[in-house]
């Protein structure tokens, strides 16, 4: 590549030399009409050749490639491969000019950056420093930085010298945004989980201290404090159980469910388990199921857990002496793979309702509209996060409708099992 560039430069110098000698020769001939003086023109031409008129040679040991001709150092196949890389990449020549930026880089920095000086394209001083260092020492470098527009993204930039003559420095950027977000979520999750555990633990520790000290001989206080301690210990147990359950469900989220389940049975089992709790609040649970519902493919225990969470919420946040209504029906639709059937189950309460702005956040771990009320009722704030993962594993959908003061409806749509017809059996074979 360096040899090609040198030949090209020599050709251009010869061209300028011949052009200069012809011009000078023509002028001398026009003025003096003498052929002898053409010799002088040849001398001038030689001088022009050595002075390199029209060409300025870089006074460097590294060969700088002129920006407009740089692309020839990249064969079409390499260029196409770099162009299609999902990570942003640019190549900078020895003169600090960008001569190639792939599509991903143009998406980040903008179009029309080729041939511009690197400092006009990138403002981040740490990347410019890393590029300069690699250019001077030949050592690869790496630096983390943030692009704030159009949306904030975190990147790690790598610099490496990929060619010495001509000098070419590569800048490769790796998008770390989703890794950073996941990291932040993990940190938040641990902070939330520890906070949730610390609260009941602090209460239990406080009562132990009181029982050992001032309330040592107070029979009445001791009974009361032991009851509170039992409630707090139960809350800790539930929190740990929910955390373990969430982890297990998340781990299996991508494993298709194995069993075959009649959703009506699942719902009747879940509501029977919660009926003593509903009775205590004077709430009645009504199940209305359409006839001949198709079965679904599902994990029975997970589906019971899903509906127990929804029915429990409907009781907890429902109206005292109100009603929890569970309706089951089927729906047919035409999807991409032909006719499809779904089983739809909705859990409706006539309680306090949920403000519209809170609805999108309900499935976040530990999110509660009214933290005090949820805690009073022994809530951990993990119920709907568990529901979301179970729904995802079953390839279903959850819809939440609510009006403050009127109540809420949680609707779960699950794909029904296809009836095995002769045609589908043949298809499988
Ligand atoms: N049917 C409902 N009516 C009103 N608010 C609800 C209803 N269901 C859920 N919520 C709100 O959504 C929040 C999150 O519900 P989620 O089931 O995840 O947690 P929780 O009920 O507080 O605790 P957990 O279910 O872990 O015991 C609740 O704290 C409550 O504020
Ligand atoms: Mg709940």
pLDDT tens, position by position, 395-405? 999 999 999 99
Mean pLDDT of all residues in 103-110: 88
Give the CATH number of domain 67-175: 3.30.450.20
Looking at the predicted structure, is the pLDDT value of residue 88 above 70?
yes
User: What residues have a C-beta under 5 A from ligand 2, the ion?
Assistant: 313, 383
Range of weakest confidence among 6-10, 101-105, 251-255: 6-10
Q: From 3.40.250.10, 3.40.50.2000, 1.10.287.130, 3.10.180.10, which CATH number describes the 180-251 domain?
A: 1.10.287.130
- Domain spans in the chain, listed from the N-terminal domain onward: 2-51, 67-175, 180-251, 260-415
**Beta partners for residue 311, in sequence order:** none
The residue whose CB lies within 8 Å of the most ligand 1 atoms, and thus the one to mutate among 242, 316, 320, 407, is 316
Cα(313) to centroid of ligand 1, in Å?
6
For residue 381, the ligand 1 atom closest to its alpha carbon is 19
Answer whether residue 25 shows pLDDT above 90.
Answer: no
Half-sphere exposure of 84 (CA within 13 A, CB side): 5
The pLDDT tens digits for 9-24 are 456 666 776 777 677 7
52 or 141, which is more confident? Answer: 141
pLDDT-derived band at 63, boundaries 50, 70, 90: very low
pLDDT of residue 124: 86
pLDDT in tens, 339-359: 889 999 999 999 999 999 999
Note the pLDDT of residue 317: 93
In CATH, which of 3.30.300.30, 3.40.50.2300, 3.40.50.9100, 3.30.565.10 is domain 260-415? 3.30.565.10
Ligand nearest to the CA of 381: 1
Per-residue pLDDT tens digits for 253-309? 889 999 999 999 999 999 999 999 999 999 999 999 999 999 999 999 999 999 999
């Amino acid at each position: 590549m360096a040899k090609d560039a040198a030949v090209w430069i020599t050709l251009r110098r010869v061209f300028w030399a011949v052009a200069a000698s012809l011009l000078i020769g023509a002028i001398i001939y026009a003025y003096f009409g003498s052929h002898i003086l053409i010799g002088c023109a040849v001398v001038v031409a030689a001088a022009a050749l050595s002075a390199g008129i029209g060409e300025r040679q870089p006074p460097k040991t590294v060969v700088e490639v002129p920006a407009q001709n740089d692309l020839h150092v990249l064969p079409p196949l390499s260029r196409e491969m770099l162009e299609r890389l999902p990570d942003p990449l640019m190549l900078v020549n020895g003169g600090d000019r960008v001569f190639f930026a792939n599509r991903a880089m143009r998406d980040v920095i903008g179009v029309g950056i080729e041939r511009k000086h690197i400092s006009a394209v990138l403002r981040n001083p740490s990347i410019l420093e890393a590029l300069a260092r690699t250019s001077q020492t030949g050592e690869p470098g790496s630096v983390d930085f943030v692009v704030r527009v159009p949306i904030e993204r975190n990147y790690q930039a790598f610099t490496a010298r990929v060619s010495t003559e001509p000098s070419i420095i590569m800048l490769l950027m790796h998008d770390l945004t989703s890794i950073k977000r996941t990291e932040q979520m993990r940190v938040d999750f641990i902070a939330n989980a520890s906070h949730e555990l610390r609260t009941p633990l602090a209460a239990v520790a406080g009562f132990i201290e009181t029982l050992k000290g001032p309330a040592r001989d107070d029979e009445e206080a001791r009974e009361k404090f032991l009851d509170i301690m039992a409630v707090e210990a139960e809350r800790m147990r539930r929190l740990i159980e929910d955390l373990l359950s969430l982890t297990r469900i998340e781990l299996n989220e991508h494993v298709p469910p194995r069993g075959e389940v009649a959703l009506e049975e699942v719902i009747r089992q879940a509501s029977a388990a919660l009926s003593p709790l509903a009775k205590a609040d004077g709430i009645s649970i009504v199940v209305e199921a359409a006839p001949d519902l198709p079965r679904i493919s599902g994990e029975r225990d997970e589906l019971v857990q899903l509906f127990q969470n929804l029915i429990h919420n409907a009781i907890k946040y429902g109206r005292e002496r109100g009603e929890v209504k569970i309706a089951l029906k089927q729906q047919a639709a035409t999807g991409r793979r032909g006719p499809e059937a779904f089983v739809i189950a909705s859990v409706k309460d006539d309680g306090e309702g949920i403000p519209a702005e809170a609805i999108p956040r309900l499935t976040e771990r530990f999110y509660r509209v009214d933290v005090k009320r949820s805690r009073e009722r022994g809530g951990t704030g993990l119920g709907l996060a568990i529901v979301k993962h179970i729904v995802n594993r079953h390839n279903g959908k959850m819809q939440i409708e609510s009006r403050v003061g009127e109540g809420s409806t949680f609707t779960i749509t699950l794909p029904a099992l296809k009836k095995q017809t002769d045609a589908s059996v043949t298809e499988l074979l």
